Structure 1
Amino acid sequence: MKAAITGGTGFIGKVLTHDLMKANHEVIILTRNPDKYTSTDRVRYVKWMSDGANPVPDLEGIDAFINLAGESINSGRWTEERKKRIFDSRMKATDEVLRIIRSLNKKPGVLINASAIGIYPPDLNRTYTEESTDKGDDFLAETVKKWEQKASGAEMDGVRTVFTRFGIILGKDSGALPKIAMPYKMFAGGKVGSGEQWMSWIHIQDVVSAVQFCMEHDQMSGPVNLTAPHPLRMNEFGKILGDVLNRPHWLPAPAFALKLALGEMSILVLEGQKVMPEKLQNNGYSFHFATLERALADIYKR
């Protein structure tokens, strides 16, 4: 298959590109700075969303469009300016993806659009699946709702559309794990906030494998939760992380201190949702790393 990826030079995009090429798929990465990268016979870098860009001819014949573009939500305090950049980057990139799809003579078979489990309201007791209709009302939930609504425009062009609602993605050098693990490596790890909030996590390898699964299986459409089948409360997550790193789990990080340090962004660590990957499981996806112990053992090669 031939797949186009936006955000292909980011955390998820790099691993996904590697795995797609390994599976003998052809990859086209849309980037503002294609000259920074070297194209090969398996991966090409094409200019988009910048002066002089005209990616449409290069994208004729693609089978899948994977939209991962958007400013990171966890790389800085959520000032009003930063929240605007987080929101606008997703809306503008998705507008351009839809424009490209409508300009192609042959539409791709599927659009896989990034999303997040932050669309669900934080709750200590409820369990969410793709059938859950409750939506949150905070900044992240509103952003995700509008992002999915925007991307759903591809359905009007007859393109199967999947919203991959990412959980907390675990990888050694990128994503949330390095920041979560840092206090433990300094012998200062412990309960975060109440410790009762849910951590619906997923290994980076399962993220990219599940994206490919959605790309290759026509029955996958609409929201798809990309989370491991065994979510944990934060305190249990921390204990397991401490055990894997051979570090103590003892020093609490109180909620008021995190709110003071992180502001509104503190919801990423103080609040959570128990989210199950019902669609993936019901359609035959087999997780590489179903438990946190296995996932962390792989990441840290223990």
Structure 2
Amino acid sequence: MKKIVLAGGTGFVGQYLEQKFTEQGYKVIIISRQSGHLNWSNHTGIVHALEGAEMVVNLAGKSVNCRYTEANKREIFDSRMETTEALGTAILNCDNPPPLWINSSTATIYRHAEDRPMTEASGEFGSGFSVEVGKAWEQALFSFKLPTTRQVALRLSIVLGKDGGVMTPYENMVRFGLGGKQGNGKQMFSWIHLEDVYRIILFVRDHDQISGVLNTTSPEPVTNHELMKQLRVAMDRKVGLPATEWMLNIGAVMIGTEPELILKSRWILPERLEQFGFHFTYPTLDKALENILHQ
């Protein structure tokens, strides 16, 4: 039986991948801190799981949807570094290591951009905590020199899918009349449909020439103003009150998150994926929302 290892596979993206790969006939082994799965402390068990696996996909890391207290920042950082290093060490100890290691990274590694899009070749890194996490995460992956295992970092943008993730709070905002622009509405919103994340993983598996970093985002980012407009259209809501920056700052404190998650302009294009010939099932936001909300 074909085998895949999903590290940190209990979250929104991981559960979808587990379902899809199981449907494709894979044995899926999940590494997690949750009971019932292979634990991160079990180095021998991780090595055994990786032996003969077709690939390992690492999604592990504390959610950034929280206040950036010193304790939370340390946990966000450590949860990414420690799990990536644990996998690299385990792969080095395999007799028959997986030929492909896909590790999550973040599209937030790029600077706030309202002037031009960021690609893998021409993108500029920003500054601040989120950026430093992204850079250290990728450095942890590529610091391992693995002669027979390809290493790919997926710079994931915001993932949209049914029944979870960011769609839940966005749907609630629109449903309760708060679906207007946020801040000045000019900040770019780079996103990707959950199904295309899965398809990109298959595409990377099937194209041996792909390694390094990949912007994992749709080719058609939109402004925040356009995002909220399309959400209102898709949900048949004519009115949506806007939220100013000061309102978002207060609201973020009340619900325990950071306003950066909404106000940072993420203008990112999947240049390398398109150069390799990948075609998106959901390239535009209207198609993605139609699938998520109505199919």
Do these two structures clear the TM 0.5 threshold for a shared fold by scoring above it? Answer: yes
Q: How far does residue 77 in structure 1 lie from its aligned partner after superposition? A: 1.9
Matched, 1:170 2:160: yes
Closer, same or farther: CA 239–133 of 1 in aligned 2, 3 Å:
closer
AA aligned to 2:108 is G
Q: How far does residue 158 in structure 1 lie from its aligned partner after superposition? A: 4.1
AA aligned to 1:105 is D
Question: Which blocks of at least 5 consecutive residues in structure 1 are unaligned?
Answer: 36-44
Matched, 1:291 2:277: no
Does the CA contact (< 8 Å) of 2:109 and 2:134 recur in 1?
yes
CA–CA distance in structure 1, aligned partners of residues 184 and 155 of structure 2: 25
**Could you give the per-residue CA deviations for residues 111-164 of structure 1, whole angstroms, max 9, x where no partner exists?**
100011100001101111111252111111110100000011233444211110
AA aligned to 1:289 is Y
Tell me which residue corresponds to 1:49. Answer: 40
Closer, same or farther: CA 52–3 of 1 in aligned 2, 3 Å:
closer
Q: How far does residue 109 in structure 1 lie from its aligned partner after superposition? A: 0.9
Tell me which residue corresponds to 2:83. Answer: 93
Matched, 1:265 2:255: no
AA aligned to 1:248 is K
**Could you give the per-residue CA deviations for residues 191-215 of structure 1, whole angstroms, max 9, x where no partner exists?**
1001000000111111111122112
CA–CA distance in structure 2, aligned partners of residues 208 and 238 of structure 1: 26
Partner of 2:294, secondary structure, is coil
Does the CA contact (< 8 Å) of 2:50 and 2:56 recur in 1?
no
Q: How far does residue 173 in structure 1 lie from its aligned partner after superposition? A: 2.0
Does the CA contact (< 8 Å) of 1:162 and 1:220 recur in 2?
yes
AA aligned to 1:55 is I
**Aligned pair partner of 2:222 in 232, 235, 244:** 232
Does the CA contact (< 8 Å) of 1:184 and 1:248 recur in 2?
no
Does the CA contact (< 8 Å) of 2:174 and 2:240 recur in 1?
no
Tell me which residue corresponds to 2:31. Answer: 30
Per mean C-alpha deviation after superposition, the further-off stretch among 22-31 and 5-14 is: 22-31
Q: How far does residue 246 in structure 1 lie from its aligned partner after superposition? A: 0.6
Matched, 1:203 2:193: yes
Percent identity, aligned pairs only? 35
AA aligned to 2:288 is A
AA aligned to 2:232 is G
AA aligned to 1:298 is N
CA–CA distance in structure 1, aligned partners of residues 166 and 181 of structure 2: 16
Tell me which residue corresponds to 1:39. Answer: none
TM-score (norm 2): 0.93
Question: Which blocks of at least 5 consecutive residues in structure 2 are unaligned?
Answer: none
Q: How far does residue 34 in structure 1 lie from its aligned partner after superposition? A: 4.9
**Could you give the per-residue CA deviations for residues 247-300 of structure 1, whole angstroms, max 9, x where no partner exists?**
134311011121233268211101122111112212121211111111001101
CA–CA distance in structure 2, aligned partners of residues 155 and 238 of structure 1: 44
Matched, 1:139 2:129: yes
Query: 1:245-264 alignment to 2 at 5 Å?
Result: 245-262=235-252
Does the CA contact (< 8 Å) of 2:118 and 2:267 recur in 1?
yes
Partner of 1:130, secondary structure, is coil
Tell me which residue corresponds to 1:38. Answer: none
Does the CA contact (< 8 Å) of 2:7 and 2:57 recur in 1?
yes
**Aligned pair partner of 2:60 in 69, 91, 109:** 69
Partner of 1:55, secondary structure, is helix
CA–CA distance in structure 2, aligned partners of residues 130 and 51 of structure 1: 35
